[in-house]
Amino acid sequence: MPDSRVRFRDAAGTVRTGSWTVGTPGVDGWITAAGHAYDPETVVVLPPCEPIKIVCVGLNYADHAAERDATVPDRQSLFLKPPFAVASHGDTIPSGVPDRLRGRAGGRDR
């Protein structure tokens, strides 16, 4: 398997870019950057980039409109996501709905 590019923070807190090689040593292979080898278990793998803004196109807007009995606009919708919405290796991707609101009628705490 070919190497993959990776951004990570080392134990000293320095953000580095390197190559992630899958295989031995270790279950996850190793990361190399600036002539040094790092164990993936000892670094924090970061998102692949640090955008200042994320512009999204609503391709499945018709599905969301149908869920809410709303009309579908003539054009695709554009919306923004904050920079912290970028996920990293192993991150859990939230649904966007706070736990306290899931399954609640009208989205209210009761």
How do residues 10-44 score in pLDDT, each as one tens digit? 999 999 999 988 776 555 688 889 888 898 888 99
Sheet holding 30-33, edge to edge: 36-38, 30-33, 15-21, 4-9, 44-45
Q: Are residues 8 and 33 in the same domain?
A: yes
- Do the domain assignments include residue 109? no
Question: What residues make up the domain containing 66?
Answer: 51-84
| Domain count along the chain | 2
- Do the domain assignments include residue 89? no
Q: Which of 106, 56, 53, 96 is nearest to 76 (CA)?
A: 56
Q: Is the pTM of this model over 0.75?
A: no
- Do the domain assignments include residue 70? yes
Cα separation, 91 vs 45, whole angstroms: 10
